[in-house]
Amino acid sequence: MSDVRRVTVTGERPYDVVIGRNLLAELPATLGKSVRRVLVVHPAALATTADAVIEDLRAHGYETFGAEVPDAEEAKTAQVAAFLWGVLGQADFTRSDAIVAVGGGATTDLGGFVAATWLRGIQVVQVPTTVLAMVDAAVGGKTGINTAEGKNLVGAFHPPAAVLCDLAALESMQPFDFVAGLAEIVKAGFIADPRILELVEGHVDLLKDPVAAARSEVLLELVERAVVVKAEVVGEDLKEAGLREILNYGHTFGHAIEHVERYQWRHGAAVSVGMVYVAELARLAGRLPDDVVARHRAVLTSLGLPTTYRGDRWERLLAAMRRDKKTRGDLLRFVVLEGIGKPVRLEGPDPTLLAAAYAEIAEGATSSTAISL
Ligand SMILES: NC(=O)c1ccc[n+]([C@@H]2O[C@H](COP(=O)([O-])OP(=O)(O)OC[C@H]3O[C@@H](n4cnc5c(N)ncnc54)[C@H](O)[C@@H]3O)[C@@H](O)[C@H]2O)c1
C-alpha cells in the first residue's frame, strides 16, 4: 500500500492531514523555510520513531532536539509543560521555530499546548501514533493539559501546521487500545458518513488485528473518512460555537463513565457505551427507529467494544453528567440522532427518560433491542 491521502482542514490557517505509510519525507515540507530549530516531543514507547524523525530532520539541516516525556496522561501536567518550556528556552527557540509531537493523544495535546504557549504560539506538526489521536486528538487544534481538579482544564485552541498520520506506527499498538480508537471512527460513521459503518461491518476481523489493519486499504479509507468528518466540522467551528458539538456524540455519558471509573476505562470503550446510551435515549424520545439502535449495538459488539455498563451507578453517572463542562447551566444537553448522519441537539430531556435509557444499557437489564439482535 503506497497510497497517500490528504484532507485539508479549512479555517484561518488551513492545514493538511496526510494519511499513509512511511510519511517521514513529508515532514520538512510541512515545516516551511523559516524554521531552523525543531523540538521533537515523544514518550519512551515512541523513542524509535522519534529518533528516525530527529535523524531525518537533521539530515535536512534543522537543528533538532529530542525531549522524552512521561507516558500517557502523566505527560499532561504543568510540570511537564514547564520542563519543555525550559528546553525551548535553553535552546533559544524563536517564534519561527517548531515543535513536532510524536505519540498518542496525550503527547499531541501536550506538544500542541506547549507550542501554543511558547512565545504566544509557535508552529506544531502533529505525528499521531494511535487511532484515537489520528482521527480525533491531533486534528482540530484543541490542545491542553490536566490539573489536579480535572482533565483538559487548561489549554488553548492552536491548530497545527500539519498532521502526519503514518499508519505503520499503529502496528505496535495493543489490540484493545487499537479497537478502542475505532469507536471514534464508528462515531464519525453514525453522525455523518454511513459508508464508514459499511466498511467496518464488512471488515470486522481485519480491524481487530492492528498489524493487518494498519497495512490495509480499509483502514486508510476509514481514517481518511473519519478525518474528513472532523475536518468539515472544525473547519467551520474551531471554537465549539455549535456545530462542533456533534463530535461529542456518545461523549456526555461516556465522560460520566470515565469519571466514575476514575479514568481506568479507555476513552473509546466509554464512548462506545455512551453511543448506545444516547441511541436508546433518542429511541425512547421517539426520534430514532429501533433498527438504528440495534445497528449501534451490532457494530460496536462485533469489534469487541462494550455496550453495557454496571446497573448500580445511576446517581453517580447523573451527577457526573451534570458536572460535564459541555453542560450549560442546569440543562443536560445531548447530541442524538434522528437517523444515520442526522445529529440534533436534545436539551433537558425528562429525567424519567434519562433513567429509562440507562435501564436499557445497564447490565442485568433485558433490553428489547438487545434481544432482537
Ligand atoms: N485535543 C483533542 O481534541 C482530543 C480529542 C480526543 C482525545 N484527546 C486526548 O487524547 C488522549 C488520549 O489519546 P490516546 O488514546 O492516543 O492515548 P495516549 O496518548 O495516552 O496513548 C495511549 C498509550 O499508547 C501508547 N502508544 C501510543 N502510540 C503507540 C504505538 N504506535 N504503539 C504502541 N503504543 C503506543 C502510549 O505511549 C500510551 O501508553 C487523552 O489525553 C485525551 O484527553 C484530545
Q: What are the structural domains of the chain? A: 5-172 (3.40.50.1970), 175-361 (1.20.1090.10)
Å from CA of 136 to ligand 1 middle: 10
Å from CA of 176 to ligand 1 middle: 13
Question: Per-residue pLDDT tens for 51-79?
Answer: 999 999 999 999 999 999 999 999 999 99
Å from CA of 248 to ligand 1 middle: 18
Give the pLDDT of residue 242.
Answer: 72
Give the pLDDT of residue 132.
Answer: 98
Give the pLDDT of residue 244.
Answer: 86
Q: CB of 109 closer than 6 A to ligand 1?
A: yes
Among 8, 4, 1, CA closest to 230:
8
Among 262, 271, 263, 259, CA closest to 322:
259
- The answer to which of 6-20, 131-145, 183-197, 311-325 has the lowest mean pLDDT is 311-325
Give the pLDDT of residue 236.
Answer: 78
Give the pLDDT of residue 44.
Answer: 98
Whether 363 shows a pLDDT value over 50: the answer reads yes
Supply the residue whose CA is at minimum distance from atom 9 of ligand 1: 105
Could you tell me which residue, 189 or 150, shows the higher pLDDT? 189
Give the pLDDT of residue 1.
Answer: 54
Supply the residue whose CA is at minimum distance from atom 8 of ligand 1: 137
Whether 105 shows a pLDDT value over 50: the answer reads yes
Q: Tell me the pLDDT of the chain averaged across its residues.
A: 93
Among 271, 316, 282, 321, CA closest to 136:
271
Q: Which of the four pLDDT bands, split at 50, 70 and 90, describes residue 372? A: very low
Whether 368 shows a pLDDT value over 50: the answer reads no
Distance of alpha carbon 23 from its chain centroid, rounded?
Answer: 21
CB neighbours of 126 closer than 8 A, spacing ≥ 6?
100, 101, 108, 111, 112, 133, 138, 139, 160, 162, 163, 164
CB neighbours of 326 closer than 8 A, spacing ≥ 6?
245, 248, 251, 252, 333
Tell me what the mean pLDDT of segment 106-120 comes to: 98
Give the pLDDT of residue 325.
Answer: 59
Contact 165, 223 (CB under 8 A): yes
Give the pLDDT of residue 241.
Answer: 62
Provide the 10 A C-beta neighbour count for residue 157. 15
Give the pLDDT of residue 147.
Answer: 95
Catalytically active residues are 120, 142, 184, 230, 240, 244, 248, 251, 255, 267
Give the pLDDT of residue 243.
Answer: 81
SS3 103: strand
Tell me what the mean pLDDT of segment 108-120 comes to: 98
Q: Which of the four pLDDT bands, split at 50, 70 and 90, describes residue 327? A: low
Q: What is the Cα–Cα distance from 122 to 129, expressed in whole angstroms?
A: 22
Residue of 167, 177, 229, 255 to mutate, ligand 1, most atoms within 8 A of C-beta: 177
Tell me what the mean pLDDT of segment 284-289 comes to: 97
pTM of the model: 0.95
The owner of cell 505496535 is 172
Give the pLDDT of residue 234.
Answer: 87
Q: Which of the four pLDDT bands, split at 50, 70 and 90, describes residue 364? A: confident
